[in-house]
Amino acid sequence: MKSYCTLLLLLCLSTPTFAAKKAVKKSAAPTVVEDANEIVKKADLKRGLGNISHSFKVTITNQDEKVEVYEVSFKDVNASLTNQTEPERSRGRKLLMKDYDIWLYTPNIKKPVRISLEQKLTGEVSNGDIARTNYAEDYDAKLVSVEKVGKNEFYKLELTAKNKKVTYGRIEYLVSKKDYAPTEATFFALSGKPLKKAEFSDFKNVQGVSRSTKMVISDYLQSSKKSTLVFSDHKEEKFSDSLFNKDRLEF
């Protein structure tokens, strides 16, 4: 009886996922086998504005319903500044990323402190999950297979870190063949150990393109431990170079 209930619950939970996949709008499907790195580039543009200067907001809800809000100034793939605005006790924390260097500023310490990319930002979210999200820049992609789920086809890609400085050693990435929408990713450490999984959803029209505005990151072994990232307020914006100077963090 217990296993029957579990099965029923699983079926109920999985229904919206398939329904969402069915709801994806049609677009020109690729007719030839594409370069894996090109697929990843196109999928990156379905998760953000790509490598153009812009700002956005990220609201992170952890499994205990605690909410954290960050405002991100993204100059290009090599320079971004994340400013925490909620909760009140964490307000004023800033995270600056330049190339593969990352600094944290807290009002308590009052000076920028060099930290590592793997350091957790909150819950299941690493610094790199917000500050360095263009996979095409950091990973070499290989097309493993094309998988069919229902009527939809998905590229199954394996992304390998171009160097040891990136957030993850390897990513298994599932991208819709129809419109390059990223569906899910599994992240591995450099040692090969699986770390966490991410699901991309809530595709909305952002700056004229349908993009994912929600990412749910869960621990690989304990799926109940999860963080939900909602991306909003994307705006094209020009920033002064000095905004991304670590010595400006204290001002």
Partner 1 sequence: MKKQIILASFILAPSLQKASADTKVRGSITAKASQYSEELKEKYGQHHKAQLGQETKFTPSVNLVNQLRWEYSTLSSDITGVPPADKTDKEEFYLGENFLKYQSDSWVMQTGYQEVAWGEAFGLNYADIVNPKNMKETFYSRYSDSRIPIFMLNYKYFLENGSFQVLYSPEPKFSKMLPHEVFTKQYFGTTKITIKKEAEPGFFDENDVGAKLSQSLWGVDGSLYYFSYLDREPHYTLTSATLTSIALQEEHNRINTTGISLAKTLYDDFVLRSDLVYTQDKFINYRSGNSLLKVKSNLTNFLVSLDTPTYNKFSALFVFAVSRLDKAPDGIFREQVQNYSIAKLTYDIGDERSFDLSYTHEFNKDGHSLQGQLLWPINSSFEFSVGGEFYWGRATSSLSTFKNLSNVFFSLKNYFQIL
C-alpha Rg value of the chain to the nearest Å: 19
Instruction: Report in angstroms how near the CB of residue 179 gets to partner 1 at its nearest.
Output: 35
Instruction: Report in angstroms how near the CB of residue 77 gets to partner 1 at its nearest.
Output: 18
**How far apart are alpha carbons 166 and 162 in whole angstroms?**
8
**How far apart are alpha carbons 227 and 213 in whole angstroms?**
14
Q: Which is nearer to partner 1, 128 or 182 (CB)?
A: 128
Instruction: Report in angstroms how near the CB of residue 119 gets to partner 1 at its nearest.
Output: 7
CA-CA-CA-CA dihedral for 42, 157, 23, 21, to nearest 10: -160
Instruction: Report in angstroms how near the CB of residue 89 gets to partner 1 at its nearest.
Output: 4
Q: Which is nearer to partner 1, 149 or 190 (CB)?
A: 190
Q: Strand (E) positions, 150-237? A: 152-161, 170-176, 182-188, 194-206, 209-219, 226-236
Q: Which is nearer to partner 1, 9 or 109 (CB)?
A: 109
Among candidate residues 207, 226, 247, 243, the one with its CA nearest the CA of residue 82: 243
Q: Which is nearer to partner 1, 84 or 213 (CB)?
A: 84
Element (H, E) at 95: strand 94-98
Instruction: Report in angstroms how near the CB of residue 46 gets to partner 1 at its nearest.
Output: 29
- Site of interaction with partner 1 (CB under 8 A): 62, 64, 66-67, 86-89, 91, 98, 100-101, 107-111, 113-120, 122-123, 164-165, 225, 240-242, 245-248, 250-251
Q: Which is nearer to partner 1, 156 or 225 (CB)?
A: 225
Instruction: Report in angstroms how near the CB of residue 250 gets to partner 1 at its nearest.
Output: 8
**How far apart are alpha carbons 199 and 232 in whole angstroms?**
17
In the chain the first and final C-alpha atoms are separated, in Å, by: 61
Residue pair 183/43 in contact by the 8 Å Cβ criterion: no
Q: Which is nearer to partner 1, 88 or 151 (CB)?
A: 88
